[in-house]
Amino acid sequence: MKSFNGKPVEILLVEDNEGDIILTREAFKDSKIANNIMVVSDGEAAMCFLRKTNGYEDAITPDLILLDINIPKKDGKQVLQEIKEDAQLRVIPTVILTSSKSEQDIVKSYGLHANSYLIKPVDLEKFFEIVSAIENFWYTVVVLPDEIEVKKWAETDG
């Protein structure tokens, strides 16, 4: 199993549907790239995790965020907006992974600078294909910044 920059890929999954959490974990388990999936089930917990507050002080900064739009306490669009307004968080690729096919949700998500918008398929095989596409794109094609360099940049330019 390959790793990313010599370490497992750290993925934050923001999802409240237990079935989708299990499916996502299974799909990434079959992945060619070593990964760790951390899960939070609502928008408030997502922001605490990312900001390392309220019990998440030791949380690892994710390399990728998979964000559902329809989550409790703070919806995915609010979470996305907060991520993209924060100099240290905005550089983390944030992929909307949702069942919403609403054109309004798609436009709003891209307007808030989502890195991509993927609709969860109902078919299990197609779901695994989407996870494989995420993996192939974000970890074999795209070059992502180093966390230390991001912190330096956010402190000076952010």
145 pLDDT more than 60: no
pLDDT at 142: 55
Distances in whole angstroms, Cα of residue 111 to Cα of each of 21, 66, 80, 108, 114: 26, 17, 10, 5, 7
d(CA 28, CA 20): 12
Whole domain around residue 40: which residue ranges? 9-156
- Residue 42 tokens, joined: 């609502």
Q: Are 11 and 62 in contact (CB under 8 A)?
A: yes
pLDDT at 6: 62
d(CA 18, CA 21): 5
For residue 53, being part of any structural domain is answered with yes
For residue 101, being part of any structural domain is answered with yes
For residue 2, being part of any structural domain is answered with no
d(CA 6, CA 81): 31
Q: Are 62 and 107 in contact (CB under 8 A)?
A: no
pLDDT at 49: 97
> What is the SS3 assignment for 100?
coil
Beta bridge partners of 117: 96
CATH number of the domain to which 116 belongs: 3.40.50.2300
d(CA 90, CA 77): 14
More confident residue, 10 or 7: 10
> pLDDT (tens digit, 9 = 90+) per residue, 40-83?
999 999 999 999 999 999 999 998 899 999 999 999 999 999 99
> What is the SS3 assignment for 152?
helix
For residue 3, being part of any structural domain is answered with no
> Which range among 33-37, 82-86, 93-97 has the greatest average pLDDT?
82-86
118 pLDDT more than 50: yes
For residue 4, being part of any structural domain is answered with no
**Total structural domains within the chain:** 1
Q: Are 49 and 56 in contact (CB under 8 A)?
A: yes
DSSP 132-143: HHHHHIIIII--
For residue 1, being part of any structural domain is answered with no
**Mean per-residue pLDDT of the chain:** 82
CA atoms within 13 A on the CB side of 52: 8
pLDDT at 1: 34
Share of the chain above pLDDT 70, in %: 80
Alpha-carbon 82 to chain mean position: 14
